[in-house]
Structure 1
Amino acid sequence: MRESSSSFPPHNNTSNAIHKFWNTIKCCSSSSTSASFLFISLFICTLFFTQWSHYIYFPHSTSTTNSLQFSNWTTLSNNNISHDYPKKDGYVLNCSSSKALTITCPPNYPPSNRNHKNFPSNQTCPDYFRWIHEDLKPWKKEGITREMVESLKEKAHFRLVIVNGTAYVKEYMKAYQTRDVFTYWGVLQVLKLYPGALPDLDLVFQCHDKPSIMKKQYRGWRAFVFGSRDPPPQFHYCGGDSTFDIVFPDWSFWGWPEVNVKPWVPLEKDLAEGNTMKNWTSREPFAFWKGNLRNGPRPKLAKCNSVNKWNAQIIDQDWIKESREGFKDSDLSKQCVHRYKIYMEGNAWSVSEKYILACDSMSLLIDPKYYDFFTRSLVPMKHYWPVNTMRLCKSINFAINWGNNNTKKAQEIGKEGSKYIFEQIKIENVYDYMFHVLNEYAKLLKYKPTIPEGAVELCSDRFACSPMGLETTYKIETMVNGPSEQGPCELPPSYEPLTLKSIHDQNAKIKEQVLAWEKENYGWSWWTWW
């Protein structure tokens, strides 16, 4: 995904209303007094602001006081799209003041103080939850200080603080599109699902594509020169073997309105139904990829766009055209019609990975360098086919030929990938992962969190009441019903060092075997392979 800034035109009703207003006042006397002119000017300003206020979506503080201001205009999109919403019984939004300049949180928010420590779960979390321990390992011995957290305020997008079950955010800079807003929304749902269960905490979050806390900066001569071996703790949507970023579920689980991607629960249902449109053997017998070819290493993928030569169809997504046409050709649930789907990183990891894996197609993962919170437990040749980047097109072509000659095994790989997504990445597990990574992180703090000066309280009323089209639609659709009747799943223990080594060695050995098959197929001569 490419980060960029976008500007949107104001709603046409604004200009229409002003035009009608001026047609009306043309009938008035031309000898108006200065007082009447002042009145008219104030009326126009009020009218104009009223029209714009429909597109206000997040209050944030731009000063050191706690006064609330609104920023970041956005426009309605795809108003013709309808969704069915489940009934919300446990929590009711109070939107009586939604048109006011300042939307305040209810005095009884959060609505329940139930402590879920007294409601243990009888379920153990999925195995990928173990990676939480690995992500937090750098701070296990020495803990996390306030100075470490605050050292990132120049680079992070926001600071999130939870005190007595209430969340507060201090925005440092605006994230791309609504990444930050839907991340806040996800945290609010965890607090409502398990009210009173999370301890006080204080963290910083970065929303760019790439993780940024590089391990090499805190090792060897660099650590000696810069005087620090303790990396600052930063939350991010993805991580890598060369970074210390703490991985957290991405914003798209609650929807991505800018590109019309539904929240995970309805989209998961659509994907499951889409898988039934064509059984595997009747699908197109080649690989498919669609997206932005101008990000990261993806220009190399464009060279593989030949069904006849490389068994691959590569489509460069025109987002401007798609936006104008209402994203009618971007329905993810209707893209599960190929036997093989390709996943390739852009600037970093991409949210598309879970959608690709969910298609029942044999997923071709092109040598990922980054991971999100669940992908580290994927196993090559069980959940996906590993593709190397050295001879990209040949590697893709070999995978397709192998799959079409070993259809039973190719179908099994596709099914296992989808099974992993549908069974392991349920929204309940997403919330439980968020809960556990926040809970374990809070245990490492060596200070008592306090509300930062200029921070704003977060609550559902403040986020979901303004009439904002698809963005608010997704928020209402993803609002939890009420407090859970049981606690989150039980966090499994950390991996033993030997177990971790075994996992890495096993995955590397499988990838080496696939590479050996490819070399054998194309010949061992260096000029035919390299």
Structure 2
Amino acid sequence: MLGRFSVFILILCNCSCKSCDKSQGTCSADTNESANKYSEEINTRWLPYIMKISNAVASYTPCDKNACSCHYPLLKKDLAVFKDGITKNMIQSARERGTFYQIINKKLYRQSDCMFPSRCSGIEHFILKIIDTLPDMEMILNTRDWPQVNRRFGDVKPVFSFSKTAEYMDITYPAWTFWEGGPAISLYPTGLGRWDILRKSLGTSAEEWTWSKKKAMAFFRGSRTSSERDSLVYLSREKPNLVDAQYTKNQAWKSDADTLYAPPATEVPLEEHCQYKFLFNFRGVAASFRFKHLFLCGSLVYHIGDEWIEFFYPQMQPWVHYIPVRAGATKEEIRNLLDFAIENDEIANEIAERGQQFIKHHLRMKDVLCYWRKLLRSYAQLLKYSPEKEEGLIHIRPKAQ
């Protein structure tokens, strides 16, 4: 893989349009020019992208797929804020920021009310799976879409949130959507969830739509939760053979004005996204729940913006696993990035494969459970007191499967 990038650089640094001998690392003016699939004009145009990919791949160290240690750097960073310990007063001051839980004698307890019951249920599923391995503790789990502890205010509070930006000190936990409680749309009326099932169905679809069979087009379906998505939709209207991007309804939809003055599109199952080579991921109110699903198609993912993360994002690298797109990119910028992938099909396929393999090997259900276990055990070690069972909490028991 790296050898190919080295050859690219040799070609590009040579001012004449020659082909290079990979084994010798030299160029010959007599070599048949047609042997090189990249012309000087194309290589020169795409040099910045090729260099970014080459440098990113060269500096990337793959994770051990036999452990969830791949994601530990974020865990350690999140908990480093509390290196001096977590007091009872800190917990009490944070209670209004989320849902209060206790683990006492291998049993899970929760305050009686939960703002989003299916989200709490999705979280509780994983905690109950590992509860026999956990010490006593109490914690505040935020189930809102947005994080709670902004660095600007300097008030350190131990609050767990599923997604955040660098402005926040929340402790990142695996989202409830790995089990249940995701966005409810017509295709997923009870909410997107069951990552274990979707992994299988998306894997089957990816096998049907291998890279060579995919349409060389970009695809996106989603509601207009952010104007950052507009450029792609406008490009789709101008270049329908290049991009199929349309807005669907959401709960706030009132008229066609909410879908850029076009009728709302029909929602498309995630499995059908696999027909396309290029899939776009945009944040919504926070990090996008669709992100992890797109990679399993074996398609090249274009990820817009890098502010919002979930627990597994930091170990996925731009240009290694996906194509980064700046937030607010213009139609021209997006078109240029798509042209690059179309004209450099093999490189695009390699990035898509690396992204797919990362999610396959490092975001299994057992990796999610592993992260929960490591996170909660590490967190419990920071408590400077021994929690006692609080009156009025409800006992959370496993649901019948």
TM range (shorter): 0.7 to 0.9
Matched, 1:189 2:125: no
Q: Per-residue deviation at 1:453?
A: 2.4
For 1:214, the equivalent position in structure 2 comes to 150
Specify which of 98, 108, 133 is matched with residue 167 of structure 1. 108
2:370 corresponds to which letter in structure 1? D
2: CA distance between counterparts of 1:410 and 1:429? 27
Deviation at 1:334, TM superposition (A): 2.1
SS of corresponding position for 1:240 = coil
Report what 1:152 is aligned to.
94
Q: Which amino acid aligns with 1:285?
A: A
The aligned residue for residue 135 of structure 2 is 199
Which letter maps to 1:382? V
Partner of 2:5: none
Code of the aligned partner of 2:367: N
| Residue from 165, 169, 174 that aligns with 1:244 | 169
Change in Cα spacing, 1:329 to 1:240, as seen in structure 2 (3 Å) is: closer
Q: Could you list the runs of 5+ residues in structure 2 that have no partner in the other structure?
A: 1-64, 252-265
1:368 paired to 2:306: yes
Cα RMSD for the two superposed structures = 2.3
Aligned to 2:20: none
Question: Residue 434 in 1 paired to residue 372 in 2?
Answer: yes
In the alignment, residue 246 of structure 2 is paired with which amino acid? Answer: I
- CA 395–417 in structure 1, closer or farther in 2 if over 3 Å, else same: same
Letter in 2 for 1:252: T
Counterpart of 2:71, as a letter, is Y
Match of 2:271 in 1: 333
Could you list the runs of 4 or more consecutive aligned residues of structure 1 that deviate by over 6 angstroms after TM superposition? none
**Which whole-Å deviations, capped at 9, do the CAs of 1:281-335 have from their partners, x for residues lacking one?**
3322121111111346444543333361793221212357xxxxxxx95421222
Distance (whole Å) between structure 2 residues aligned to residue 271 and residue 123 of structure 1: 22
Contact 1:310 1:393 (C-alpha < 8 Å) held by counterparts: no
TM-score, length-normalised on structure 2? 0.74
Match of 2:120 in 1: 180
1:269 corresponds to 2:194: no
The one-letter code matched in structure 2 to 1:291 is G
Matched with 1:234 is: 159
Percent identity between matched residues is 24
Structure 1's unaligned 5+ residue stretches are: 1-121, 219-229, 321-327, 465-475, 477-530
Map Cα deviations across residues 339-368 of structure 1 (whole Å, 9 max, x no partner).
100001011101111011222111000112
**Inter-partner Cα distance in structure 2 for 1:123 and 1:401:** 37
- Rounded Cα–Cα distance in structure 2 between residues aligned with 1:304 and 1:235: 38
Structure 1 contact 159–169 (Cα < 8 Å) conserved? yes
Work out whether residues 344 and 368 of structure 1, in 8 Å CA contact, stay in contact via their aligned partners in 2. Answer: no
Give the secondary structure class of the aligned counterpart of 1:210: coil
2:337 aligns with one of 399, 405, 410: 399
TM-score, normalised by the number of residues in structure 1: 0.57
Report the CA distance between 1:383 and its aligned residue. Answer: 0.1
SS across alignment from 2:235: coil
- The Cα shift of 1:137 comes to 0.5
Cα distance in structure 2, aligned partners of 1:390 and 1:296: 8
Question: Could you tell me which residue of structure 2 aligns to residue 126 of structure 1?
Answer: 69
1:413 to 314, 334, 351: 351
Aligned match of 1:89: none
1:343-492 alignment runs, 5 A limit: 343-460=281-398, 463-464=399-400, 476=401
Q: CA deviation at 1:234?
A: 0.4
Structure 1 segment 508-523 matched on structure 2, within 5 A: none
Shift of 1:252: 1.3
SS at match of 1:370: coil
Taking the aligned partners of 2:234 and 2:286, their CA distance within structure 1 comes to: 20
Instruction: Tell me, in whole angstroms, the C-alpha distance in 1 between the residues paired with 2:80 and 2:110.
Output: 26
Between the aligned partners of 1:238 and 1:296, the Cα distance in structure 2 is: 20
| 1:279 Cα deviation from its structure 2 partner | 2.1
Counterpart residue type for residue 284 of structure 1: K
Deviation at 1:151, TM superposition (A): 1.0
